[in-house]
Structure 1
Amino acid sequence: MTATIETYAPPALLYRFRKIGVAPDFPNQSTRREIEGLNEGRLWCGEYHDLNDAMEGLYRAGDAARGQPQWERARTLIRDGKTSVGIACFSEVWQQALMWAHYADSFKGICIEYDFRVLRETLADNTSFSRVSYADQLLDIGSDLENPRRLAKWILSTKHHSWSYEREWRLFIPERGLVRFDRAAIRRIILGPRMSANVAQFLEANLSRYHIVRSRVRGYDVEVD
C-alpha cells in the first residue's frame, strides 16, 4: 500500500513577475503583449528550454529504471513530454527582491497578483498546477515508468535548492501557447519601484479595469501604500 499526498492549504494568492519594457507605447512589443494579455485574460505558457535555469529538466535514472525493458521508450516519451508541455511560472510572494531583479526587469516591470482559487476554477480542464520542490540532488525517477508524461511534469517541478527563494508554482498546459482565464482572477497589478513615471501613467491608462498600485523601496523591503 502507498500513502496518498494531499494538499489542504494552497496559497490564496499567486504572483507573476513580468518585464514590461521602458518605452510607453504600443509599438513596444513587451508592453503591447502584456497589456493585451491582461485585458483579454490570456496567459502565455512557454517551453522549458526558454526558462532561465540551465538545469531545468535534468534528472537521474538509476538501475531500477534503466534495467526495465521499456526504458528506451519511456526515456523518449519523457523527453517528448518535457519539450511539448507549456509552462507559466508563479510565486507565493511578491516582496522578494530577487524576483523583482530577475523577472521584472530590475524592478522596472510589474507583478500581477492572482486569486488562486478563481484562476484555477476558470482555466481549462486540461491544465494543472504543481508546487515546485527544491533539492540538493537531481531527481531520481525510480522504477515506475508507466506514465512518462507524469514523470516529465515531476522532473519539471523539481529544482536545485538555490532557487528556493522563488517559492514557485507552475502552470502546465498540454503544449506551449496561450491559455484563457477569467480576468476576475487578477486582484491587482503592482508596478515596480524603478518604473518611470511615464510608463506607469501609460499602464494605468491602458489597464484601467484593474486595481494598480505603485511600489517603492524602503530599506531592504519592497512596499506599497
Structure 2
Amino acid sequence: MRVYHFLNAEHGLDALRNCHLKIARFGELNDPFELLGVDLSDKDIRQAFKKIKIALAEYRGLLCFSRRWRNPLLWSHYADRHKGLCLGFDIPDELAIRVTYTARRLMPTDLFFPDNAVREGAIAKILATKFSHWRYEDEVRLFVSLEDRDPQNGHYFYDFSEDLKLAQVIVGPQSSISRYDLEGVLGNENAHVERLKARPAFKTFRVVMNREESLWT
C-alpha cells in the first residue's frame, strides 16, 4: 500500500538523511480523544480507559500516514503551510490499519461482553477510531514498539526498511528545497526514489505535480 507522511522541511530532510521516521507517542498526538473514542459517561469505564492510554503510551507508538497527498489541507496542517515535504512509502497491507471516522463514540457494549471479556477486534477499533471531522486525513496507521530511545533528544525512531520502503519525495509548492538539496540527503542508494515538485492545480482545489521541470532547480 502506498501511503504518505507530511513533514516540515527541517524534519523532512533529517528523516531522509537518517533514513528513519520519528515515532509518535499517544500523549503527543493533536487529538485529545486518541484511544478515548468511547462513551466514557460511566466513571469506572472512564478511569479504566485513561489507564489503558497511559499504559499503551509507555511501550507502543505509531506512524501516521495518509492515503493521499493531493489534499491542500494536509500540506497546510502537516507540511508547514506547503513549505515542507511529503514522503511516499510502500508498506505491507497487513500491517496498515485504516482509521475509521465516526460522529458517534463507541459504546462499551460494542467492545466488551457482559462478563467484561473483550470482543474480537475491539482493541483495533479503539486504536483506529476518530471523530468524523478528521476524515480529510484519510489516515493509515502503523503501530510499532518503543525500543531504543535516542539519547540525545529522547525521541524514538523507526528505520526505513521493507516494511517502510521509501518510494517518493514530493516537495511542497511553497518549499525552497532544491533538487540539489534532495540529492545531498538521498544519495546514490536511493536512486530509485521518485522526486516530484508540487504546485496548486489550475482548475481544482488540489495539489498536483509540476510537470514543468525548469521551474524546479
TM-score greater than 0.5 by the shorter chain: yes
Aligned positions of 1:41-60 closer than 5 A: 42-58=20-36, 59-60=38-39
How many Å apart are 1:57 and its aligned residue?
2.7
Identity %: 28
1:223 aligned residue (201, 208, 215): 208
Residue equivalent to 1:125: none
Aligned positions of 1:40-79 closer than 5 A: 42-58=20-36, 59-61=38-40, 75=49, 78-79=52-53
How many Å apart are 1:161 and its aligned residue?
0.4
- In the alignment, does 2:190 pair up with 1:203? no
Moved more, 203-212 or 184-193: 203-212
Q: Secondary structure at the match of 2:86?
A: strand
How many Å apart are 1:20 and its aligned residue?
1.8
1:135 aligned residue (102, 107, 123): 102
Residue equivalent to 1:187: 167
Matched positions, count: 188
What is the CA RMSD across the aligned residues, in angstroms?
3.1
Gap regions ≥5 residues in structure 1? 1-11, 22-29, 122-127
Q: Which amino acid aligns with 2:18?
A: G
Residue equivalent to 1:14: 3
> CA offsets per residue over residues 158-189 of structure 1, 9 Å max, x none?
11100111110111113372233426822111
**2 CA distance for matches of 1:181 and 1:212?**
17
Q: Secondary structure at the match of 2:96?
A: strand
> CA offsets per residue over residues 35-75 of structure 1, 9 Å max, x none?
3333xxx3321212212223323222477x95xxxx69954
How many Å apart are 1:19 and its aligned residue?
1.4
- Judging changes above 3 Å, is the alpha-carbon distance between structure 1 residues 167 and 32 closer, same or farther for their aligned structure 2 residues? closer
Aligned positions of 1:158-169 closer than 5 A: 158-169=129-140
Gap regions ≥5 residues in structure 2? 148-155, 212-217
**1 CA distance for matches of 2:158 and 2:5?**
15
Structure 1 segments (4+ residues) deviating >6 Å: none
Instruction: Assess if the C-alpha contact under 8 Å between 2:83 and 2:173 holds in 1.
Output: yes
